[in-house]
Amino acid sequence: MMNYVEIGHSKSQVSQIVLGLMRIPQLDEQGLDSLLLTALDAGINMLDIADIYSRGRAEELLGQAFARGMKREDFYLQSKCGIVKDPLNYFDFSKEHIIKAVEGSLKRLKTDHLDCLLLHRPDALMEPEEVQEAFAQLYEQGKVLDFGVSNFNPAQIDLLQSGLKFKLCANQVQLSLCHTPMLDHGFNVNLFNEAAVGRDGGVLEYCRLHDIVIQAWSVLQHGFFGGVFIGSPAYVPLNAVLERIATEQGVTPTAVALSWILRYPGSMQAVIGTTRPQRVLESVRACEVSLSRREWYELYTAAGNKLP
């Protein structure tokens, strides 16, 4: 059974497993409809997309699915903006760009509003007051109901929040069993080793303290889109533990790997990027898995991490 967390000022109940739609340009109409219906039937009521995914094509395809009869109101719809490729890759949090990006997303998605908008990656040139102007206009026009960020550290969140009248509701960050820098430095405080290097300013702890939902992305990947670690020969010890716990609990290793993320005691979500309905069904069973503290740490160390 799916578990839900509360998000935003609307206090919407959103599924802990989120369906990420970056890869849907690989699907035909029937495949996309099947993916969305499978997710919905399994209790997933949140979709994550971005204007940059296939340069807007992913949003167009989702919009076409809504036009074919998929019910937009069944989903909490989240998109992201701020990354520009023209073809130079850069970030733009100007009022003009944010508003133009959202209007483009709404047109492609064939909807009148986003439930949530995330600023996709930090823009060093952002002016919080200018972002506030964009957010206020979008909110007052009913085009965006909640706002958050992606891949921000605590100082960047504080800087942005200083100019906002809207409380940021979510931070989407990379986290998986094989990508754990946000945890590593916490275990290695005051040590002279690579794991002790803090690269994110304690973002997990910060989000917990400030009631910001943590949305983990690349949840089954190692590295920066380095590939899936489930079944990988590069992670034999980890897969052995995943298989053992999966067998004991009557689920798949995928469910166990996702349950490891959801076990962290903040407001957690795991964004899955699969295009396969069967993988969706495997993933939602993560909510049925109960990991002991010992099992959680066993998985962490089996992934190649060392505890002091």
Show the tokens assigned to 134.
Answer: 């964009």
Mean pLDDT of the chain: 97
Summarised one tens digit per residue, pLDDT across range 10-68 is 899 999 999 999 999 999 999 999 999 999 999 999 999 999 999 999 999 999 999 99
- Closest alpha carbon to 77 in 89, 65, 86: 65
Domains and CATH numbers, the chain: 4-302 (3.20.20.100)
Residue 15 pLDDT: 98
pLDDT above 90 (res 224): no
pLDDT above 90 (res 190): yes
Contact status, residue 80 vs residue 49, Cβ threshold 8 Å? yes
Residues with a catalytic annotation lie at: 53
Ranges of beta strands (E only) in 37-140 are 46-48, 76-81, 83-85, 89-91, 114-119
Residue 70 pLDDT: 97
Crossing angle of helices 95-109 and 128-140, in 10° steps, is 30
pLDDT above 90 (res 223): no
pLDDT above 90 (res 1): no
- In percent, how much of the chain has pLDDT > 90? 97
Q: How far apart are CA 106 and CA 114, in angstroms?
A: 7
The pair phi, psi for residue 271, each rounded to 5°, is: -95, 115
pTM for this one? 0.97
Instruction: Tell me the CB-side half-sphere exposure of residue 192, using CA atoms within 13 A.
Output: 0
Helix, strand, or coil (residue 165): coil
Residue 253: asked if its preceding bond is cis (omega within 30°), the reply is no
Residue 56 pLDDT: 95
Residue 150 pLDDT: 98
Q: 269 has which bridge partners?
A: 215
Residue 279 pLDDT: 97
Q: N- to C-terminal Cα distance for the chain?
A: 37
pLDDT above 90 (res 245): yes
Residue 218 pLDDT: 97
| pLDDT (mean) for 271-278 | 98
Alpha helices in 232-287 (DSSP H): 236-249, 253-262, 277-284
Contact status, residue 235 vs residue 178, Cβ threshold 8 Å? yes
Contact status, residue 95 vs residue 131, Cβ threshold 8 Å? yes
Summarised one tens digit per residue, pLDDT across range 101-151 is 999 999 999 999 999 999 999 999 999 999 999 999 999 999 999 999 999
Contact status, residue 50 vs residue 81, Cβ threshold 8 Å? yes
Residue 43 pLDDT: 98
